[in-house]
Structure 1
Amino acid sequence: MTLKLESERARVTINKFGAELSSFILKETGVEYIWQADSAFWGRHAPVLFPLVGRLKDNTYSYQDKTYSMGQHGFARDMLFDVIEQTNNSAILELKSNQETLKNYPFEFRLLIGYKLEETTLTISYDVSTLSDEMYFSIGGHPAFNIPLIEGTEMSDYYLHFAPLKSRIKIPLKGAYINNACKTLAQTNTSIQLKHSLFKEDAQILETKGRNTFSILSDKHPHGVMLSYEDFPFVGFWSPNTVEAPFVCIEPWCGIADDVSSNGKIEEKIGINKLTKGDHFNKSYTIRIQ
């Protein structure tokens, strides 16, 4: 059920169920960077969000005058992927539409999730294509990183660093949905100390453009994690607000939850992506550990 990738300096484990990254270890120290899915806090590691990111109003949407149901973050994270390519340091996993997915997602799709490990950098890639005349979807990552990384430290010993250091637009949540009309300017032109109270109102969501790198670092030791991408329109930062969990997620998204004013039409959903037959959607992001 799992795949192992290895470089000279790191080891990665991927679960075929959900094509989920479940371990990323630096060999010379044995430090594990990925949250180990303790269900007392959150029972996942780094789920793939597809064909939705976030939650739909009333868990429903409409397409061509028909109404469909779908839960938060879609169904890919709860499905078994096929391995179509694998080497010592890379793998490609595949999920295709079937009779079950078509019941509540009326689009034929092929989703490829790629992993490539080079030294201490893991590249995660998405390739989406369709056989339908048109297809609407969102996709994104949800990797959770252990905080603290080193025994004897705590969350307040770590900080979130933004590159480039500049202000970004923050999109607030109202319950499970975004409130796009109340966007503000986030002070991401400086690093932010990590603390559980940052997530008291759930995820912190930013609009992003161009090249971005978000790092979890500490002045008490040299270990950290850097997540980088090009042209993902949103990023979320999350840790549970009901319990003080020892992890923080950095989530690159091509898509977002419904707005409080959403009309439910998937064609008009904020952040939705559209493909037509023969087109491909390609995005990737990297995780580097130190």
Structure 2
Amino acid sequence: MIELNNADLKVQINPDGAELSSVKEQSENLEYMWQADPKFWGRHAPVLFPIVGRLKDDHYTVAGQSYKMTQHGFARDQTFKVVSHDATSAIFELVADDVTKAMYPFDFKLQLRYTLEGHMLTVTYHVENPDAEAMLPFSIGGHPAFNVPLGANEGGFEDYQITVAPKKTYPQIPLVGPYNDAQHEKELNLTTPLQLDHDLFDQDALILDLNQVETTVMLSSTLNDHGVALTLAQAPYVGIWSPYPKQAPFVCIEPWWGIADNLTADGELTHKQAIQQLAPNTQFEAAYQLRFF
């Protein structure tokens, strides 16, 4: 386990999946991250690459060849190399090999950089296409889960709320099963905070279409000043999720540069909704910030 520390926070990241596993407030020892109880969901904050969400029938095609890949891709189940690590930053790296090419026939280099400053943790995704000729089609995203409530004396699930800035009515992409139904977009009024209730997630994740506008999604207690705010820039989507009907004591705020297959998807990876297309010998970088309070 790789640890970052400053006067405010202690952060732990597991090289398995380069997964953010713990964020504790130093003075109160308050744990913000969901601790992966398999009774509800056995992960903390998986990295979603090279797809976000589910493929139709867990398959896609490239150049006439069919490949199998399960939900959210394979990066979350791979061990990353620790490229560098000091008291407040760490870089993790995953590169293509025979195992990944059996699922995804592309060369790539994926790096995750974690940087701690005060109460802020910045997570940066860096994707490189080392191929001199072929495009690299991919999606990437995060899936961090936060304790709700944050502690034994921090109230219950319904004592928390979601606030989104800018305050407005957002386009909401519904899900039909695991697939997106963007053709029947809805609206979600977020001009006022959204009080948490497990029934909010009876149709799976709430997916907001951000149109690449910088957005902050804040999860906070109505009883005190504790919570977490996730800010992302130039991302097409953010998902808000808690498993239903399990009534799990956590909520995920998920920054996405990609989305699950559309109901009408034809299975061709290059046709996939919101797929990134990285030109030969070029790089992609995106980031989000987590502020813990």
Same fold (TM over 0.5): yes
Q: Which amino acid aligns with 1:155?
A: F
Normalising to structure 2: TM-score of the pair?
A: 0.97
Distance, in Å, in 1 between the alignment partners of 2:266 and 2:249 is: 37
Q: Which amino acid aligns with 1:243?
A: K
CA displacement at 1:190 relative to structure 2: 1.5
Gaps of 5+ in 2: none
Matched residue, 1:63: 62
Distance, in Å, in 2 between the alignment partners of 1:129 and 1:182 is: 35
Matched residue, 1:177: 179
Confirm or deny: 8 A CA contact 2:198 2:245 kept in the other structure. Answer: no
% identical aligned pairs: 44
CA displacement at 1:186 relative to structure 2: 1.2
Distance, in Å, in 2 between the alignment partners of 1:251 and 1:214 is: 10
Distance, in Å, in 2 between the alignment partners of 1:179 and 1:210 is: 21
Alignment of 1:251-262 (within 5 A): 251-262=254-265
Distance, in Å, in 1 between the alignment partners of 2:89 and 2:232 is: 19
Matched residue, 2:76: 77
- What do the CA deviations read for 1:234-253 (whole angstroms, capped 9, x no partner)? 00011111311000000000
Matched residue, 1:276: 279
Report the RMSD for the aligned CA atoms in angstroms: 0.8
Distance, in Å, in 1 between the alignment partners of 2:191 and 2:269 is: 34
Check if 1:148 corresponds to 2:163: no
Distance, in Å, in 1 between the alignment partners of 2:47 and 2:8 is: 25
CA displacement at 1:135 relative to structure 2: 0.8
Matched residue, 1:47: 46
Distance, in Å, in 2 between the alignment partners of 1:202 and 1:155 is: 17
Distance, in Å, in 2 between the alignment partners of 1:248 and 1:17 is: 22
Runs of 4+ in 1 over 4 A off after TM superposition: none
- What do the CA deviations read for 1:4-35 (whole angstroms, capped 9, x no partner)? 00011110000000000000011111110000
Distance, in Å, in 2 between the alignment partners of 1:223 and 1:212 is: 20
Matched residue, 1:165: 167
Distance, in Å, in 1 between the alignment partners of 2:172 and 2:203 is: 13
Distance, in Å, in 2 between the alignment partners of 1:214 and 1:30 is: 24
Matched residue, 1:120: 119
Gaps of 5+ in 1: none
Matched residue, 2:109: 110
Count how many residue pairs are aligned between Structure 1 and Structure 2.
289
Alignment of 1:125-274 (within 5 A): 125-132=124-131, 133-152=134-153, 153-208=155-210, 209-274=212-277
CA displacement at 1:185 relative to structure 2: 1.5
Matched residue, 1:87: 86
- What do the CA deviations read for 1:229-288 (whole angstroms, capped 9, x no partner)? 111100001111131100000000000000011001111110100112111000000111
Distance, in Å, in 1 between the alignment partners of 2:103 and 2:217 is: 35
CA displacement at 1:66 relative to structure 2: 1.0
Distance, in Å, in 2 between the alignment partners of 1:130 and 1:29 is: 43
Q: Which amino acid aligns with 1:259?
A: N
Secondary structure (helix, strand or coil) at the match of 1:197 reads: helix
Confirm or deny: 8 A CA contact 2:130 2:282 kept in the other structure. Answer: no
The one of 262, 285, 290 equivalent to 1:287 is 290
